[in-house]
């Protein structure tokens, strides 16, 4: 069983739509990252959170530690948001990131 | 804004050759990492490095791999005798402290032919 599961695997949205990407994990964690990967391959950190909610522009990330679940929301989606969004967790007992498989998001204009 | 830089961006090498992938972490960061992503697969942890020694490594990080911080700024990953299955994107990352936000480089695409 994968330690980090993301859903959906693929998501196509119309410009302006509200988008939610989900992440569930099975291990105890100290923190969770949401990352963005563009077609060129580079990885950009969007959020790191260990409780509650964080907001940056049109992006909102929430985490429920008891339920071992996090969500990434994008409000007023735009074609430039098209990318792979990856959830990764830091295990409570180590320092490495364990990655989910990613969600491929395509926003159409 | 400080960033992690990796060189080269793309390296093609013959099977059996040694390669060195280079990274310059953010200057005040203390923890350094290498990850890899085989095409179409998820990102996998290779190794973490702190205080001039390996703090954790994965099963992938076998004897053909080594890491080094040869001076105050560079952090390198050496693959001694490359195999076809080493072809992947290799990412370097750094963080200020343990369990703080990790910042990634743009990656080095390694192609073994």
pLDDT tens digits for A21-58? 999 999 889 999 999 998 877 899 999 999 999 999 99
Q: What is the tens place of the pLDDT at every residue in B54-113?
A: 999 999 999 999 999 988 789 999 999 999 999 999 999 999 988 888 999 999 999 999
Task: Give pLDDT tens digits for B13-50.
Answer: 999 999 999 999 999 999 999 999 999 999 999 999 99
pLDDT in tens, B59-76: 999 999 999 998 878 999
- Best of B4, B32, B34, B45 to mutate (most A CBs within 10 Å, chain A): B45
pLDDT at B103: 94
Residue A27 is predicted with a pLDDT of 85
Min Cα distance A97 → chain B (Å) is 7
From chain A, the residues in CB contact with B1 under 8 A are none
Parallel/antiparallel/unpaired status of strands A29-37 and A83-91: antiparallel
Q: Is the dihedral of CA B72, B67, A101, A22 positive or negative?
A: negative
Q: Which chain B residues are closer than 8 Å to A42 by Cβ?
A: 104-107
Which candidate from A33, A35, A95 shows the least CB-CB separation from B55? A95
Q: Cα(B43)–Cα(B33) distance, rounded to whole angstroms?
A: 12
Question: Which band of pLDDT confidence, cut at 50, 70 and 90, is reported for residue A95?
Answer: confident
Q: Which residues of B sit within 8 Å Cβ distance of A?
A: 31, 33, 35, 37, 42-45, 48, 50, 55-56, 58, 89, 91, 93, 98-107, 109
Q: Do A34 and A69 contact (CB within 8 A), yes or no?
A: no
Cα A34 to Cα A58, A59, A95, A100, B5: the distances in Å are 14, 10, 16, 10, 21
CA distance B7 to B67: 15
A39 CB within 8 Å of a chain B CB: no
Contact by Cβ (8 Å): A103, A8: yes
Q: What pLDDT is stored for residue B108 in this prediction?
A: 97
B23 with B32: CB under 8 angstroms? Answer: yes
Query: What's the CA gap between B43 and B90, in Å, rounded?
Result: 9
Backbone angles phi, psi at B63, to 5 degrees: -65, -15
> What's the pLDDT at B70?
86
As a whole number of angstroms, the distance between CA A96 and CA A56 comes to: 25
pLDDT score recorded for residue A7: 97
**B104/A40 Cβ within 8 A:** no
For residue B91, give the nearest of A30, A43, A98 by CB distance. Answer: A43
Task: Please state the rounded mean pLDDT for residues A13-25.
Answer: 98
Q: Do B104 and A44 touch (CB under 8 A)?
A: yes
Burial (0-12, 13-18, 19+ Cβ within 10 Å), A28 = exposed
- Using a 10 angstrom Cβ sphere, with 0-12 exposed, 13-18 middle and 19 or more buried, the burial of residue A60 is middle
Q: Which helix (H) or strand (E) holds A4?
A: strand A4-7
Q: Please count the other Cβ atoms lying within 10 Å of the Cβ belonging to residue B75.
A: 25
pLDDT at B62: 93
């Amino acid at each position: 069983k994968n330690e980090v599961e993301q859903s959906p695997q693929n998501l196509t949205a119309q410009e302006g739509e509200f988008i939610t990407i989900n992440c569930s994990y099975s291990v105890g964690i100290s923190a969770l990252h949401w990352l963005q990967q563009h077609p060129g391959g580079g990885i950009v950190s969007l959020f790191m959170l260990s409780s509650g909610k964080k907001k940056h522009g049109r992006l909102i990330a929430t985490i429920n530690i008891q339920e071992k679940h996090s969500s990434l929301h994008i409000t007023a989606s735009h074609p430039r948001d098209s990318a792979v969004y990856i959830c990764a967790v830091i295990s409570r007992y180590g320092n490495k990131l364990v990655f989910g498989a990613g969600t491929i998001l395509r926003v159409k204009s | 804004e400080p960033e992690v830089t990796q060189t080269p961006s793309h390296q093609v090498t013959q099977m059996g050759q040694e390669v060195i992938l280079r990274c310059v972490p953010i200057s005040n960061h203390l923890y350094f990492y290498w990850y890899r992503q085989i095409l179409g697969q998820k990102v996998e942890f290779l190794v973490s490095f702190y205080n001039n020694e390996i703090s954790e490594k994965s099963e992938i990080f076998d004897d053909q791999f080594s890491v080094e911080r040869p001076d105050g700024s560079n952090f390198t990953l050496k693959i001694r005798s490359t195999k076809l299955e080493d072809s992947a994107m290799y990412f370097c990352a750094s963080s200020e402290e343990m369990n703080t936000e990790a910042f990634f480089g743009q990656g080095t695409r390694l192609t073994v032919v």
